[in-house]
């Protein structure tokens, strides 16, 4: 966070995250059963949420564009971090499919501010076409839109920038489905 503040960064793309389920599956030392590990993981996730929240609150002029997660669940039950952080300077992004509907894999729910296209085809190092899916693909599209808006009006606060993104999305979600 200190780096972002020192560099006067205005928008941060956060195409990453983890959920309580994934955390529990990969950390066998959290409990004897998967259910025990999930309960412990939820406590860890809540601590992560509070840490992110504290960091984001320290920089209210920075817009943090975060991935909702790829569990195909409601955000509240998925316990996805940093997706659970809900602040005026945070935009939570879900993924759309090519029909401009929420993708099967995306987390959903009231915490999601906007959705954007969540897949891309790219050439790999062998020049083979690969298809990538995820909310991490959707986040840069929203970050790009935010940067273009901010470029036109550098004095916008992060909160106002978020409101513009949500308004434009609600007006015509196809702007994030290209």
CATH number at residue 143: 3.40.50.200
pLDDT in tens, 100-116: 899 999 999 999 999 99
- Domain membership of residue 108 as a residue range: 2-176
What's the confidence (pLDDT) of residue 30?
86
Q: Write down the pTM of the prediction.
A: 0.90
Rounded Cα distance between 51 and 44, Å, is 11
What's the confidence (pLDDT) of residue 175?
62
Q: Is residue 128 over pLDDT 70?
A: yes
Total structural domains within the chain: 1
Beta strands in the chain (DSSP E): 11-14, 18-19, 63-67, 80-81, 90-96, 114-117, 119-123, 129-133
pLDDT in tens, 10-46: 999 999 988 888 888 888 888 889 889 888 988 888 9
pLDDT in tens, 157-171: 999 999 999 987 766
> pLDDT grade, residue 173 (50/70/90)?
low
């Amino acid at each position: 966070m200190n780096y972002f503040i020192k560099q006067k960064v205005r928008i941060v793309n956060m195409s990453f995250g983890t959920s309580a389920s994934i955390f529990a599956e990969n950390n066998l030392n959290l409990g004897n059963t998967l259910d025990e590990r999930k309960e412990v993981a939820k406590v860890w996730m809540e601590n992560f949420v509070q840490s992110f929240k504290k960091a984001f609150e320290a920089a209210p002029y920075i817009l943090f564009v975060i991935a909702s997660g790829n569990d195909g669940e409601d955000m509240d039950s998925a316990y996805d971090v940093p997706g659970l952080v809900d602040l005026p300077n945070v935009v939570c992004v879900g993924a759309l499919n090519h029909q401009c509907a929420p993708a099967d894999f995306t987390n959903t729910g009231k915490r999601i501010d906007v959705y954007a296209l969540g897949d891309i085809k790219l050439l790999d190092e062998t020049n083979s076409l690969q298809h990538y899916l995820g909310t991490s693909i959707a986040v840069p599209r929203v970050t790009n839109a935010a940067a273009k808006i901010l470029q036109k009006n550098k004095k916008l606060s992060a909160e106002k920038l978020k409101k513009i993104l949500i308004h434009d999305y609600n007006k015509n979600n196809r702007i994030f489905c290209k």
